[in-house]
Amino acid sequence: MTVERTEDAQAVRSLRTDPRADPRMVEALAVFGLDEFAAAPEVTSRSSREDQLGLLAASETGFTQVYDALFAGLPPVEGVSSEIITIPGPDGNDIRLFVHRPDDVTGPLPCVYEIHGGGMTIMPVDGASYMRLRDELAATGLVVVGVDFRNGAGVGGVHPYPAGLEDCKAGLRWAAAHLDDLGASHIVLTGDSGGANLALAVAIAANGEGWVDEIAGVYAQCPFIHGFWSEQPDSLPSLTDNNGYFLNVDMLQVMSEVYDPGAVHRDEATCWPSRAVLEDLQGLPPHVISVNELDPMRDEGLDYFRKLLAAGVKTIGRMNLGLCHTGETMFRAAMPDLYAANVQVVSDFARSVG
């Protein structure tokens, strides 16, 4: 899908010029030039796979540098420790689990199983932003497990669907079988962007495979779940209204192609949860679907929220006003009150479903 915009429209329509945008966010993004309109990349979903993988490798480097800068210089989170546990993966691979715990707190505690974002294709589990997020969640009295799943592209290699999903499932099932060792009482899934896709997909898979009782709840933030937007853009107006705000839809389409080459799995709910039907969703544990006002992906999250309600799933919908995609987890220094509120609401949800 290519969203038509003239150069003049791009010049005046951006996070910086949109009066809805939180000015603290705008100033934080301006340091990197990300407050301006995000143009479509030259590489498209129809380009060669080599070019697509090159684009995502460069994007991973760029986004990692941005996040490292956003989280640089923060004091460490006190009263929290972490370790890495390596477990066998489903394809003879190893899966690293990053386990963060509060010090000197007796359990069992709720466990949050965190799946990082990056369009299921890029970004490291041990980047500054995700290490910080897990530490801050643990400081609220949680055990937090971050899963190092195989990305569809980037420095960790090329592993399209379903490799990452299977890793996330394996890590969750290991955690569920080792609750006593973890000092945990129950598990809540959470993820942002592509991580939200995988969190929702894991729950759908668990429902279909008969082990959904191992999941007490799902908290999905800014879910990236539609994948092939040219099919029904009129039903998802945020794709046009918010295109170019931090992310460009054409870039997301490249990620979709790399994750699901040739759209072979376009109708499978465990690849693209937006394809879920009521039978996939009925019987799922409580969910929170959180979206951001200025996110191109806002409306696919809202659509999924309504599907969950129609399926009888206990679901809460949230919208963060004035924020771009995943803005609630990005600006620890520039917007500490917003960041802390987001950490607390995830923690509160984890406790509420225990």
Give whole-number Cα distances, 262 to 113, 227, 228, 255, in Å.
30, 12, 11, 12
Q: How far apart are CA 71 and CA 63, in angstroms?
A: 12
Q: Which domain holds residue 184?
A: 7-352
Q: How far apart are CA 12 and CA 7, in angstroms?
A: 9
- DSSP state string for 44-84: -TTS-HHHHHHHHHHHHHHHHHHHHHHTTTPPPPTTEEEEE
Q: How far apart are CA 3 and CA 353, in angstroms?
A: 41
Neighbours of 185 (CB within 10 A): 17
pTM for the complete prediction?
0.96
Residue 158 lies in a domain: yes
Q: Is the pLDDT of residue 5 over 70?
A: no
Structural tokens at position 38:
């995000």
Once rounded to an integer, what is the mean pLDDT over residues 101-111?
Answer: 94
Q: Is the pLDDT of residue 323 over 90?
A: yes
Taking only the tens place, the pLDDT of each residue in 267-295 is 999 999 999 999 999 999 999 999 999 99
Q: How far apart are CA 208 and CA 283, in angstroms?
A: 10
Whether the CB-CB separation of 258 and 153 falls below 8 Å is answered with yes
Which DSSP helix (H) or strand (E) runs through 147?
strand 143-148
Residue 309 lies in a domain: yes
Q: How far apart are CA 324 and CA 34, in angstroms?
A: 11
Residue 3 pLDDT grade (very low, low, confident, very high; cuts 50, 70, 90): very low
Q: What is the number of structural domains in the chain?
A: 1
Residue 295 lies in a domain: yes
Tell which residue, 268, 244, 314, 321, has the closest CA to residue 290.
321
CA atoms within 13 Å, Cβ hemisphere of 46: 2
Instruction: Give me the residues paired with residue 147 across strands.
Output: 97
Residue 1 lies in a domain: no
Q: Is 148 helix (H, G, I), strand (E, B) or coil?
A: strand
Once rounded to an integer, what is the mean pLDDT over residues 307-319?
Answer: 98
Q: Is the pLDDT of residue 103 over 50?
A: yes
CATH number assigned to the domain comprising residue 204? 3.40.50.1820
Q: Is the pLDDT of residue 77 over 80?
A: yes
Structural tokens at position 292:
């951001």
Residue 182 lies in a domain: yes
Tell which residue, 2, 123, 19, has the closest CA to residue 62.
123
Structural tokens at position 190:
């959470």
Residue 2 lies in a domain: no
pLDDT of residue 12: 65
Residue 106 pLDDT grade (very low, low, confident, very high; cuts 50, 70, 90): confident
Q: How far apart are CA 214 and CA 230, in angstroms?
A: 36
The whole-chain average pLDDT of the chain stands at 95
pLDDT of residue 79: 98
Taking only the tens place, the pLDDT of each residue in 200-259 is 999 999 999 999 999 999 999 999 999 987 776 788 999 999 999 999 999 999 999 999
Structural tokens at position 72:
């640089």
What letter does residue 41 receive in the DSSP assignment?
A: P
Residue 173 lies in a domain: yes
